[in-house]
C-alpha cells in the first residue's frame, strides 16, 4: 500500500474497501436492502427480480462496500459459489414470512457453509430476518432457531429483524458487519 493511500485513508478521504456477497432465496428482499443503502440519486423505485447478479457500491462511515447482489432464483443459485473466494463478508437475507421455505434457505446456507472456500476463510455472516412487518412473519429469534444458526461455531454471525422497505433494522445490521469487516481487513 502506497504512502499516499495511507495518508488519504488517515485523512478519511479514501475508505477501506470490502466485498460483500448478498445471498438468499428469491423474493427475500436482497435488492431492496441494497437499494436502501444507495445514495438518493441512484435509488431504484421499482425493484424487479434480479437476473444473474448485480454489482452495487455504497459507503458507510468507515467502509466502502462493493455488494454482489446475487439472484435468488433456483436456476441462478449455482452462481453464488463463484464469488465466495473474493468476498470478505456475507449478507444472507431470509424472508421471515415464508415459513414454508425457511427449510430451503437452511439447505442453501448449509451448502454455503460447507463450501471449501467459505470453510477456510474467516468471514462474518449477517442475517436479515426480512419482512418483519408482515402479519405472519416469525421473530428473528425463532428464525435463527429454524435456521439452526446456533450450530455455526467457526464464523461470526449476527441476525437482525429488518424491514427493507422502511429501512428498519438495516443500519443496525450493517453497523455490526462494518465492525466485523474492519477487524478482518486490519488483520490482512
Cβ distance to other proteins smaller for residue 144 or 163: 144
In angstroms, give the least distance from the CB of 108 to other proteins.
8
Q: Decide whether 57 or 101 has the Cβ nearer to other proteins.
A: 101
Q: How far is the CB of 123 from other proteins (least distance, A)?
A: 23
| Close Cβ partners of 141 (under 8 Å, ≥ 6 residues apart) | none
| CB 32 within 8 Å of CB 25 | no
Question: Which of residues 15 and 142 has its CB atom nearest to other proteins in the complex?
Answer: 142
Residues marked active site are found at: 73
Instruction: Tell whether residue 46 is among the known ligand binding residues.
Output: no
162 among annotated binding-site residues: no
- Measured between alpha carbons, how far is residue 125 from residues 16, 44, 134, 138, 176 in Å? 19, 26, 24, 20, 10
95 is in an annotated binding site: no
Angle between helices 170-187 and 30-37 (to 10 degrees): 80
Shortest Å distance, C-beta 3 to other proteins: 49
Question: What are the phi and psi torsion angles at 23 (to 5°)?
Answer: -125, 175
Residues at the interface with other proteins (CB under 8 A): 25-27, 74-75, 77-78, 97-104, 107-108, 136, 142, 145-146
CA distances from 25 to 18, 97, 178 (A): 23, 12, 23
50 is annotated as contributing to ligand binding:
yes
Binding site residue list for Mg(2+): 31, 50
Binding positions for GTP are 24-31, 72, 130-133
Amino acid at each position: 500500500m502506497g504512502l499516499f493511500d495511507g495518508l488519504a485513508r488517515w485523512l478519511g478521504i479514501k475508505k477501506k474497501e470490502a466485498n460483500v456477497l448478498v445471498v438468499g432465496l428469491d423474493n427475500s428482499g436482497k435488492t431492496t436492502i441494497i437499494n436502501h443503502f444507495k445514495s438518493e440519486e441512484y435509488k431504484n423505485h421499482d425493484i424487479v427480480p434480479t437476473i444473474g447478479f448485480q454489482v452495487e457500491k455504497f459507503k458507510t462511515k468507515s467502509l466502502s462496500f462493493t455488494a454482489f447482489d446475487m439472484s435468488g432464483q433456483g436456476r441462478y443459485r449455482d452462481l453464488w459459489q463463484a464469488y465466495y473466494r473474493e468476498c470478505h463478508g456475507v449478507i444472507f437475507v431470509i424472508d421471515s414470512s415464508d415459513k414454508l421455505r425457511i427449510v430451503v434457505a437452511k439447505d442453501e446456507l448449509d451448502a454455503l457453509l460447507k463450501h471449501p472456500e467459505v470453510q477456510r476463510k474467516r468471514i462474518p455472516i449477517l442475517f436479515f430476518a426480512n419482512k418483519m412487518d408482515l402479519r405472519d412473519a416469525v421473530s428473528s429469534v425463532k428464525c435463527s432457531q429454524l435456521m439452526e444458526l446456533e450450530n455455526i461455531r467457526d464464523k461470526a454471525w449476527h441476525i437482525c429483524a429488518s424491514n427493507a422497505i422502511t429501512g428498519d433494522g438495516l443500519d443496525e445490521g450493517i453497523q455490526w458487519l462494518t465492525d466485523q469487516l474492519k477487524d478482518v481487513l486490519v488483520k490482512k
